[in-house]
């Protein structure tokens, strides 16, 4: 038996997007950010496709995500934080760790020494994100001790941008200046970082300075999936990777003045053909599609009527006399000459594409096509 709602991830297109990001970010290498199960899309197949496409290393958010990727043959690094009790297993697994404070660095060093290993680390610098890491003003004074800690090799220096979607952002420029000051302090101590990185998808598209020397690496998540932050502009020639489909469950001819769905937010103005579609907010469809979004059936847009419920939504089939029960319904992606991109849902919900992708429901089957 088939799942009703299916999210198809086109791995060939994903690899194409990876290469497109590499083209724009060059000379920087591109590190895929595959945290949260690759934004909910399924980390295993996506990571394998990206490593095959040439990804030199992968970033995640937390230990279980790092362990899942241990067998891929490329370094895996945790980005913005590590808890004291996570240090031991992560050092043992050879995961590259963030250094977010002097205390954390001392603990990593001590644990690595106890295990007789060397821990590879990237210094997480807070230049204005205000979320985690060592404050850029405090970093120069800490560097001598950080660089001298035994069994800990600071092979990377990185920071993160909160406003990089703003093209020409003065704040992003200021962050780059702060970053440069710390990098200069480390170099004055004779230290060279193997990896220097700051840009995420927003910065790759809107802050080209973060894809040039001294940087030699960018971190990319969202763009790989063909989605982008509509708040900024887009430099990478991306192609959509995701298609979400379901099936048409019922077709009914309703008389005029029939109310539809919870809250009776829609009422037929005349006799209408109405379709019942197997998908609702439990599958990750934003409630904001109610009375505003559309689906595609046989390549034709069918507007959503009334409020979405948990498992079903209703659509206007006036333009689809040929529709039949069991028809494939495209919720996201292309059908014929029409396309519904992730960004459309984000705009209707008043949110960003990350929220839409990460909210796709757990009962939706993930399938992978090459
Ligand atoms: C520190 C860090 N770097 C990079 C990324 C990847 O961002 P994006 O998906 O915008 O490319 C994230 C994701 O939130 C992040 O937290």
Structure confidence at residue 1 as a pLDDT band (50, 70, 90): confident
pLDDT digits (tens, 9 = 90+) for 299-315: 999 999 999 999 999 99
* pLDDT above 90 for 370: no
- Count of CB atoms within 10 A of residue 312's CB? 16
How far, in Å, CA of 288 to CA of 349, rounded?
5
Look at strands 272-277 and 313-316 and give their pairing: antiparallel
Name the residue of 206, 221, 234 to mutate for ligand 1: max ligand atoms within 8 A of Cβ. 221
Backbone φ, ψ for residue 97 (5° rounding): -115, 150
Structure confidence at residue 324 as a pLDDT band (50, 70, 90): very high
Q: Which domains does the chain have, with CATH numbers?
A: 11-225 (3.20.20.10), 242-340 (2.40.37.10)
* pLDDT above 90 for 7: yes
8 Å CB contact between 197 and 31:
yes
Average pLDDT over residues 111-130: 98
* pLDDT above 90 for 80: no
Please report, for the chain, how many H helices and E strands are present, in that order: 11, 20
Measured over the CA atoms of residue 193, residue 199, residue 205 and residue 208, the dihedral's sign is: negative
CA of residue 200 to ligand 1 center, whole Å: 5
Ligand 1 atom with the shortest distance to the CA of 204:
11
Angle, CA 95 vertex, CA 85 and CA 145 arms, to 5°: 75
Name the residue of 160, 162, 353 to mutate for ligand 1: max ligand atoms within 8 A of Cβ. 160
Residue with tokens 């004779």: 190
Residues with CB under 6 A from ligand 1: 33, 79-80, 160, 200-202, 219-223
How far, in Å, CA of 278 to CA of 327, rounded?
11
Angle, CA 119 vertex, CA 115 and CA 122 arms, to 5°: 160
CA of residue 3 to ligand 1 center, whole Å: 31
How far, in Å, CA of 320 to CA of 308, rounded?
20
pLDDT digits (tens, 9 = 90+) for 212-227: 999 999 999 999 999 9
How far, in Å, CA of 350 to CA of 344, rounded?
10
35 is catalytic: yes
Q: What is the pTM of this model?
A: 0.95
Ligand 1 atom with the shortest distance to the CA of 39:
9
Ligand 1 atom with the shortest distance to the CA of 200:
11
pLDDT digits (tens, 9 = 90+) for 162-184: 999 998 899 999 999 999 999 99
262 is catalytic: yes
H-helix segments, the chain? 11-25, 35-39, 43-52, 63-68, 87-93, 102-115, 139-148, 170-188, 201-206, 342-349, 353-358
DSSP 21: H
């Amino acid at each position: 038996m088939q799942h009703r709602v299916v999210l198809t991830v086109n791995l060939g297109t994903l690899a194409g997007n990876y290469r497109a990001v590499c083209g724009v970010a060059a000379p920087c290498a591109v590190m895929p950010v595959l945290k949260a199960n690759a934004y909910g899309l399924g980390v295993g197949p996506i990571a394998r496709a990206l490593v095959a496409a040439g990804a030199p290393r992968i970033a995640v958010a937390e230990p279980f995500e790092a362990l899942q990727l241990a067998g891929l043959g490329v370094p895996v690094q945790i980005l913005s934080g590590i808890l004291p009790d996570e240090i031991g297993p992560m050092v043992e697994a050879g995961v590259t760790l963030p250094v977010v404070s002097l205390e954390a660095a001392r603990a990593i060093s001590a644990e690595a020494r106890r295990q007789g290993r060397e821990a590879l680390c990237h210094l997480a610098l807070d230049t204005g994100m205000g979320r985690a890491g060592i404050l850029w003003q405090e970093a120069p004074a800490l560097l001598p001790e950080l660089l001298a800690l035994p069994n800990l090799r600071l092979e990377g220096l990185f920071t993160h941008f909160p406003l990089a979607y703003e093209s020409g952002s003065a704040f992003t420029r200021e962050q780059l200046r702060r970053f440069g000051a710390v990098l200069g302090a480390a170099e004055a101590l004779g230290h060279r970082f193997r990896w220097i990185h700051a840009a995420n998808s927003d910065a790759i598209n809107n802050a080209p300075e973060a894809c040039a020397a001294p940087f030699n690496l960018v971190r990319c998540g969202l763009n790989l999936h063909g989605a982008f932050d509509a708040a900024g502009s887009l430099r990478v020639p991306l192609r959509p990777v995701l298609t979400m489909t379901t099936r048409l469950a019922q077709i009914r001819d309703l008389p005029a003045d029939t109310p539809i769905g919870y809250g009776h937010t829609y009422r037929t103005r005349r006799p209408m053909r109405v379709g019942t579609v197997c998908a609702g907010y439990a599958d990750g469809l934003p409630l904001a599609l109610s009375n505003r979004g559309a689906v595609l059936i046989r390549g034709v847009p069918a507007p959503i009527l009334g409020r979405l419920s948990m498992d079903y939504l209703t659509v206007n089939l006036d333009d689809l006399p040929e529709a039949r029960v069991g028809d494939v319904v495209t919720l996201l992606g292309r059908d014929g000459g029409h396309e519904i991109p992730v960004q459309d849902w984000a705009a209707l919900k008043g949110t960003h594409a990350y929220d839409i992708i990460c909210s796709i429901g757990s009962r939706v089957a993930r399938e992978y096509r090459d």
